[in-house]
Chain A
Amino acid sequence: MWRGNAWPATLLIAGMVVYGLFVSLSMTTWNDYSRLASDAVFLESIGISLYVALSSTVLSVLVGAILADYFARRTGFTEQLLALPLFIPHLGAAYLSILYLSDLPVIGPHEANHLSIILTYLYKEVPFVFFYLLPVYRRLDHRYEELGLMLGLSRMRRFWHGKGVFLLFPVLEAAFIVFAFTLFAYEVPALLGVTYPKMIGVYAFDLYTQGDLSSQPAAFAISVVLTVSLLVVLLTFTRFVRPLTERISKGRAE
């Protein structure tokens, strides 16, 4: 049997990622990084981006997981409704926010609390998380929880040994994808966000495209700093969480 070939994909993706990072790195000097570390605008935009990304991620993973748990136990047409937002590009979702939230006081666009951005992300990411986790929930073996019940485990421990260990890695993975996306996205915050502080994707992109050439090294420095720090988080994540889940679920018949 031909077992497939991952080389073209790996070379394409790793080539572009590594080369993009390398070029950014070669365009910056040490000075750019030290200037970035004391740049109040940059730090503030990191702060606001973290706030938006974290709240969108936590909420969408929570709601998505609850819905997946609910629909894993039944079949029907209702779950197909959740597929609808998957057809709508993020730009279209942003338009819906402009359309409906514009006249509302607290959650309207261009408010400093960024609630409209978070709501737009929820509309798009809850279905994503739902369809990411639904097969995982459907594959769960309810006999583990029954065994826990028979052994007299507490509710919490029953959940952990019956479901938690199998859900841990997929949930974290979905959360990571949503987090990275919402942290760096350009389109939605550019349309719904405030002019100050800008979210980091908007700040870096505007710095790169609208500023004069002297501000480009700063944009490259932002690119390097954020890429490298996310890589570090990602490596820690795979190094520690994956062996843990593999050890816990070892021996489970798939």
Chain B
Amino acid sequence: MRPTLVKSLLIGLIVLPLIGVIPTTWTWNPRLLDTVTTTVLMIAAVTLLNHLVGYAAGKAIAFRTGRLIRLMELLISLPLFLPVLLLSFGLYLTWIRLGLADQFLGVLLVLLLPTLPYTIRIYTNGFQALGEQMMEQMILIQPNRFKRFFFLTGPMMRSSLQSVTLLVTVIALSQYALVALIGGGVVRMIALEAFPLYTGNSLVAAKEATIWLIALPFLIYFVQLMVFSSWVRLVRRLLDGRNDPARNEDIWKEKGVTRD
């Protein structure tokens, strides 16, 4: 296949359809705006939990051996292959009993089901790509685990961390049925407003909802990109030797050496 042909096919089929959501008129729909706060908070909470739980689990699956961890790997990937929505019918009754139904926390827990398996897969692949020898090397260089994460593991796992946030955001955003069921209409995320608009006849309102749905992942990804690039810049600055005692001026002066 000719590269230009492939490129134009991809542009035509993937990029061009997005022209339809470019905003022409804009009316801050108040109903949508109300849901944005809950949505962003929910996404932040789900993403944070995913990173915390997924990091530990991905590392375990990548570096542990034995029957137990293989069984755990299978159990963790179950929601990828099973109907999560249908399972949530039963969970909803339990959540009512536990007082979690129609609550932020209840929705948060259920949203882990469709997101966490992906997160753990990405982390497992990231750790496997890094390799055990590299991990051991990094321990020799920096024994403090927090400093090690800041200087070495974090920047090296950058692409995994970024993909996790993106995937979790997108999956959490498009859950209508799950959030409607478990949140009972009380926990209002954007999908809950967008979904009825699509079946209604106001094309303008539907388009505005879609713009929110598409813009939020891009926005969150962009913020993350900024955070990561300043993180990496900070690490570079801290490691460029400025704080290296061997380069400290006083030591050189003591030795009677002048530096240009």
Contact = CB atoms under 8 A, between A and B. Distances in A.
Given A89-B214, A238-B74, A19 B91 contact: yes
A166 interface: no
B170 A100 contact: no
B60 A94 contact: no
A238 B70 CA distance: 11
B46 interface: no
Contacts of B74: 238
A179 B11 CA distance: 26
A204 B84 CA distance: 12
A127 to B, nearest CB: 8
Nearest to B54: A9
Per DSSP, chain A at the interface is helix
A187 B120 CA distance: 25
Given A81-B11, A191-B199, A4 B60 contact: yes
Given A12-B112, A186-B177, A92 B213 contact: yes
Interface string B35-71: 0000000000000000001111111111110000100
Contacts of A209: 180-181
Contacts of A226: 83, 86
Interface in A35-80: 70, 74, 78
B174 to A, nearest CB: 3
Interface stretch (B12-20, B26-34, B226-234, B242-250): B12-20
Given A3-B63, A9-B120, A191 B85 contact: no
Contacts of B13: 123
Contacts of B239: none
Interface string B169-204: 011011111001100000000010011001100000
Contacts of B78: 13-14, 17, 234
Contacts, number: 248
B75 A13 contact: yes
B82 A227 contact: yes
B89 A88 contact: no
A5 B55 CA distance: 9
Contacts of B90: 19-25, 27, 220, 223
A20 B75 contact: no
Given A16-B87, A87-B218, A88-B217, A82 B14 contact: yes
A24 B83 CA distance: 13
B174 A89 contact: yes
A5 B57 contact: yes
Interface residues of A, number: 71
A169 interface: no
A91 B213 contact: yes
B60 A222 contact: no
Most buried by A among B59, B86, B112, B207: B86
Contact of B195 (A78, A86, A88, A191): A191
Nearest to B120: A9
A66 to B, nearest CB: 9
A84 B125 CA distance: 22
A85 B76 contact: no
B166 interface: yes
B113 interface: yes
A164 interface: no
B167 interface: yes
Interface string A166-208: 0000000000110010011111001100000000010011001
19 contacts: A8-B56, A9-B56, A16-B109, A20-B87, A21-B90, A23-B93, A74-B3, A81-B7, A87-B166, A91-B174, A91-B198, A92-B213, A95-B207, A96-B21, A96-B210, A100-B20, A177-B81, A201-B83, A205-B177
Interface of B: 1, 3, 6-7, 10-11, 13-15, 17-18, 20-21, 53-64, 69, 72-76, 78-91, 93-94, 109-110, 112-113, 116-117, 120, 125, 127, 132, 135-136, 139, 145, 166-167, 170-171, 173-177, 180-181, 191, 194-195, 198-199, 206-207, 209-210, 213-214, 217-218, 221
